[in-house]
Structure 1
């Protein structure tokens, strides 16, 4: 049985540690832990050399996703964010097969034909993520966007961030039902509310894994998934290995049942 691809968002190891050590220092950790993909974080880059990281990743048999904090659609602009072209080029320089961005301000006036032209000139696949904002973190704009994507047959998939829906009081279960067929990448993170009222990402409990299992039923079998929650401890290889195994197992029980 093919194991689903599991990625680790390098932000999971903490911004300070990642900036201090450099993102390339985590390649071997992920490879030893059994991950199949690595998610580069643009906001945590320091002096990394893209070509060297691309080569080191290939040498370890890993594929990569490039995460950019840019928004695809800017407020009051019909054309896609002009930074998209640069972001696609940067993703390619890092050897990434996927570029992850936020939706931004999507309206009925947005120009999807220009977006189609930009994407046709790149080998990198675009993944659009629900973030924590009012304009880019609710179900309704994503439903409209992916209806348009489908109508224009654009090569775009969704990054479904399970935890981010909570910032806008959206139901992850409803989101999975309505958007699941568009999902190409799942960002897994549990969320809790601190004493000061702020929501924060935390590692999953057994109950979270069970809920995630239900959400994945609405998505393609074996959909790529990633840890995007704190992975902090003395033995990062062992810790990462445990979480890779847990995430790889999600959705596999239904597959096993289908083969009984």
Structure 2
């Protein structure tokens, strides 16, 4: 059965207003979800890691961790990799997501070392297609995932449905090609504007992507996260739409 979660980007208005993620987790749990994905770029001080851990325990939330840094840089693991994993352990996180970076060019030894570091801490990892020309194209992402599989790596894949539009690529084609690799799904919809300056996320029912046909095709063990800014009074409705789509 598909598990639905909320990425803290949903609460962008509150985050931009200075509300810490730890203070938002109770409201997220109040929507009846058991998964939340916290974002490193909004952690403002060291004590927040412990506050997030405490809030998650108190409200029965399993945590994922979004780190907006490339996993591999110039063939080597990111220099902050160990620190990022230790932060995750401190918060009680299950999965850590990175930008894919240069994974497609990484040696088998580098990918094995990444897997070993995660396993030692009881973590799973995933890489994402972002909105950059370096890390967001279908060709780059397919090459990264093929390389991981080629060398027997355990790194998973977070498929971000909306990001393809910022690269001028077809989200449906990307889904078809990359479906076998998906371990986490970031759900959003977009207005489809041809002018990227006008491209924006929308409420799920208002965009151009046929996301409803995609969700039932995901494995039951692939969590689906809402991952776009949503006004607080519309979060429940967006969750209801996803629940209806996954059955």
Where 2:93 maps in the other structure, the secondary structure is coil
Q: How does 1:124-203 map to 2 (within 5 A)?
A: 124-192=123-191, 193=193, 197-203=197-203
Q: How many residues align?
A: 243
Secondary structure class of the residue paired with 1:8? strand
| CA offset digits 1:105-157 (Å, max 9, x no partner) | 34435432332333332211101111001121111222222222223332221
Query: 2:65 matched to which residue of 1?
Result: 66
Cα pair 2:189 2:207 within 8 Å, conserved: no
TM-score w.r.t. the length of structure 1 is: 0.84
**TM-score normalised to structure 2 length:** 0.88
Q: Is 1:55 the counterpart of 2:54 in the alignment?
A: yes
Residues of 1 paired with 2:106 and 2:52: CA distance?
39
1:196 Cα deviation from its structure 2 partner: 7.9
What residue is the counterpart of 1:93 in the other structure?
90
Q: In structure 2, the residue corresponding to 1:49 is in which secondary structure?
A: helix
Unaligned runs of 5+ in 1: 253-260
**Distance in 2 between residues matched to 1:159 and 1:56, nearest whole Å:** 25
Q: What is the aligned-residue RMSD (CA, Å)?
A: 2.3
Over 3 Å counting, the alpha-carbon distance change for 1:85 and 1:19 in structure 2 is farther
Spell out, residue by residue over 1:19-43, the C-alpha distance to the aligned partner (whole angstroms, 9 max, x if none).
5121111111111111221111111
Residues 176 and 93 (structure 1), Cα distance of their counterparts in 2 relative to 1, 3 Å cut: same
In the other structure, the counterpart of 2:22 is: 24
User: Per-residue CA shift, 1:181-218, capped at 9, x if unaligned?
Assistant: 21111111112339883322222116657x11222354
On the 8 A contact 2:187/2:224 being kept in 1, the answer is: yes
Q: Which residue of 1 aligns with 2:32?
A: 34
User: Contact 1:99/1:124 (CA < 8 Å) preserved in 2?
Assistant: yes
**What corresponds to 1:247 in structure 2?**
242
Partner residue, 1:255:
none
My pick for the range that moved more, 64-73 or 15-24, is 15-24
CA-CA distance at 1:160 after TM superposition? 0.5
- Aligned to 1:250, the other structure's residue is in SS state helix
1:257 corresponding residue in structure 2: none
Equivalent of 1:7, from 2, 5, 8?
5
Question: Match for residue 46 of structure 1?
Answer: 44
Is the 8 Å Cα contact of residues 7 and 225 (structure 1) preserved in structure 2?
yes
Task: Give the structure 2 partner of residue 105 of structure 1.
Answer: 102
When structure 1 is superposed on structure 2, of 97-106 and 15-24 the one drifting more is 15-24
